[in-house]
Structure 1
Amino acid sequence: MEIERRFIASPQVLNLDLGPGHDIVQGYLWAGPQGNARVRVDGDRGLLTCKGPKFGFCRNETEIPIPHAAALDLLAALPAETLIHKTRYAVAVGGLGWAVDVFGGRHQGLIIGEIELTDPAQMFLRPDWAVREVTWDPRYGNSSLALSGWQPVAA
């Protein structure tokens, strides 16, 4: 079960000592209201991920390692304009780990901070740089970004 909260992050997060990031390229084999299937290259790892429909901010998720070459082949078969390019950084806040994704390509300028929780009721410290929650806004899901691009939305 994936229990995730997502936030638009202020560019001020880039002033933190983020340490080394890692580049991710991902694309969607299919996506819709019932879930999605994603292929990802994360460094030298290939991953195939299937996600079910969302229930609030929870959903079933299965992630399977696949050969790096197979992941590259699957990505190459997808339209280039639908691929997501981002650099992911790990940030500790209040004893919990956040992922900060700095998007590139046609999503340049978008920064998303996300935290994965162990329970839907789990409390967490929201950092100042997490300026607006977009957990329930489908425009900020990666599958939506892949298909429709991104334009900044006024707060």
Structure 2
Amino acid sequence: MSIEERWQRRQKEIVTDADAQEAESVRRHNDRVEEVHQRLVQAARQAFERGDGWFEAEIPQRTVGSLNHYSLSQIKRDHPSVPHPPRADLLSRIEDEGWKLHTAQYLYVQLGEESRDKLFSSGQQVKAKGEIIGVYLFQKA
């Protein structure tokens, strides 16, 4: 086997390993999301069985910003072979427990802020990090 063939084979192995690691990461993320969703659905079921008239759910939507000034963005690739979490529509799952969505609002919660002097000019550079949270209020259907 020539050096070029060994190099090509090794490159294919590296790509295959990287794809497998990323697919496993996506699976783990989906499992965590499903676990959180299941807890919210269970809380909605318990509130309905208790006879509560309203149910409120706070669901983190997205983390925004970074306090790391030197972070690099990564491009995520889709993996069609990775199964999506079953019934990913959390609001419909809560409504299936006997609730009707009444109000939805979104809040930005700032988690931190960092400032530093600009490198080649005057002034400050400020970086903020926060989270967007969806607040959903359900009424008994």
Q: Same fold (TM over 0.5)?
A: no
Structure with the higher strand share, 1 or 2: 1
* Higher helix content, 1 or 2: 2
Structure with the greater alpha carbon radius of gyration: 2
